[in-house]
Chain A
Amino acid sequence: MFRSNSYARTGTILLVTGVLVSAIAYFVLSLTWLTALGISMLILSFVLLSLSRTIPRLPPEVCSLLLQTGMDNMATIIEELGIKGKAVYLPSSLAGGRPQALIPLHSNPTLPHITRALPERFIVRYGGRPDDVGLLLSTVGSAAFRLLETRPGPTSHSLEAALTTLLAGTLGVAGKIRVASRENHLTVEVHDPWLEDHVGWHHECLGGPIASIVASVAAEAWDKPIVIKQETKANGNCTIELEVAGENLQ
């Protein structure tokens, strides 16, 4: 009846125990407090059995393998091409219907000025200069953004709510999220992140998986290209500094 996971097993045990305890306590022992404990067990069992049906079919280990394979392939491409520039996270309006990361082949100190949607190709030309060529890639953030029901608005409060829903609620890879904006910079604090992150060359370019998700969601919220300026980890928290193309955010 129920998929076998720890929630389903615990829920079933609590359901049986709750029925037995409350029935015996009420009809045989006439103990109100024990009946109440039996009822609380029943409520907990309903909750556990309901939640057991919402757990993903794939075990976390398989998901981790798939993520790692994708990241490794991306790292290989970036390292083999010797790309040192930072990826620009584009909103769906500029990247063919879904947020994607543009990796300029030639590093540029300023954010590229992209005004029209780029073609859905692996190698794209994004500007008028001969050097304005880059790779357009889907990242973890591209896929994660689809899990959001609504597109967040261009405010730090709205972004904070969207990231909390996504990272803490849906994906369960972080505790709480705090977002602060200053001029054209966003500072996102991710408390208790636990997604595995292998630091390498590609990490400098694309950022970690959580930073990638944060940048993709922020790019969609402001509908502007975004770059991960810095990603630091301290005291079990991760602080991500983003730069948004254009002028002030407020």
Chain B
Amino acid sequence: MKIYNSYILSLTVVLPLTAVILTAVGLRALNYFFPIFVLEAISITELFVYLNNKARQRLTFVSALLFGAFLVYLTVKVAAILSKVL
């Protein structure tokens, strides 16, 4: 389970640290946080290529879920911008 723990530890450190750094530099809109979180989660998952096949399948599903949520979020934002323009 060593590799599982390393993977979880990486996410546990990177995600909250990103929240702290973004807040510290003055980015206070939620628009910045979510896409960066999703990108980081997907990137870290891809870096752990040696996870076993079953774990990779499950994590690919989680990545797809997060990416789907990101697309929904993006669509809502684009629709809001377009509605203002039109």
Are B50 and A164 within 8 A (Cβ)?
yes
Tell me whether B65 is interfacial, beta carbon within 8 Å: yes
Known: A43-B37, A170-B52. A37 touches B59 (CB 8 A): no
Are B59 and A50 within 8 A (Cβ)?
yes
CA distance A37 to B23 in the complex (A): 11
Contact partner of B23 (CB less than 8 A), chosen from A32, A51, A55, is: A32
Are B19 and A54 within 8 A (Cβ)?
no
Are B62 and A50 within 8 A (Cβ)?
yes
Tell me whether B85 is interfacial, beta carbon within 8 Å: no
Over the window 18-53 of chain B, the binary record of Cβ atoms lying under 8 Å from chain A Cβ atoms (1 yes, 0 no) is: 111011000011100110011001000000001111
CA distance A40 to B18 in the complex (A): 9
Are B51 and A39 within 8 A (Cβ)?
no
Over the window 1-27 of chain A, the binary record of Cβ atoms lying under 8 Å from chain B Cβ atoms (1 yes, 0 no) is: 000000100000000000000000010
Contact residues in A for B62 (Cβ distance below 8 Å): 46-47, 50
Q: How far is the CB of B51 from chain A (nearest CB, A)?
A: 5
Contact residues in A for B3 (Cβ distance below 8 Å): 168-169, 172
What's the interface size class on A, roughly? 20 to 34
Known: A35-B30, A36-B33, A39-B33. A175 touches B50 (CB 8 A): no
Main secondary structure of the interface of B (DSSP, over half): helix
CA distance A33 to B23 in the complex (A): 6
Q: How far is the CB of A38 from chain B (nearest CB, A)?
A: 10
* Closest residue on chain A to residue B23 by CB atoms: A33
Contact residues in A for B84 (Cβ distance below 8 Å): none
Known: A32-B28, A36-B30. A48 touches B19 (CB 8 A): no
Tell me whether A93 is interfacial, beta carbon within 8 Å: no
Are B11 and A33 within 8 A (Cβ)?
no
Tell me whether B55 is interfacial, beta carbon within 8 Å: yes
Q: How far is the CB of A26 from chain B (nearest CB, A)?
A: 8
Contact partner of B59 (CB less than 8 A), chosen from A36, A44, A47, A192, is: A47
Tell me whether A80 is interfacial, beta carbon within 8 Å: no
Tell me whether A239 is interfacial, beta carbon within 8 Å: no
Contact residues in B for A164 (Cβ distance below 8 Å): 50
Tell me whether B16 is interfacial, beta carbon within 8 Å: yes
Tell me whether B74 is interfacial, beta carbon within 8 Å: no
Are B4 and A44 within 8 A (Cβ)?
no
Tell me whether A187 is interfacial, beta carbon within 8 Å: no
16 A-B contact pairs sorted by A residue (CB < 8 Å): A26-B30, A33-B19, A36-B23, A39-B34, A40-B37, A43-B37, A44-B12, A47-B59, A51-B4, A51-B8, A164-B50, A165-B50, A165-B52, A168-B2, A170-B53, A172-B3
Binding site for A on B (CB under 8 A): 1-4, 7-8, 11-12, 15-16, 18-20, 22-23, 28-30, 33-34, 37-38, 41, 50-55, 58-59, 61-62, 65-66
Known contacts A147-B52, A168-B50; 20 further A-B pairs (Cβ under 8 A) = A32-B30, A32-B33, A33-B22, A35-B33, A36-B19, A36-B23, A36-B37, A40-B15, A44-B8, A44-B15, A47-B7, A47-B11, A47-B59, A47-B62, A48-B8, A51-B7, A51-B8, A54-B58, A165-B50, A192-B2
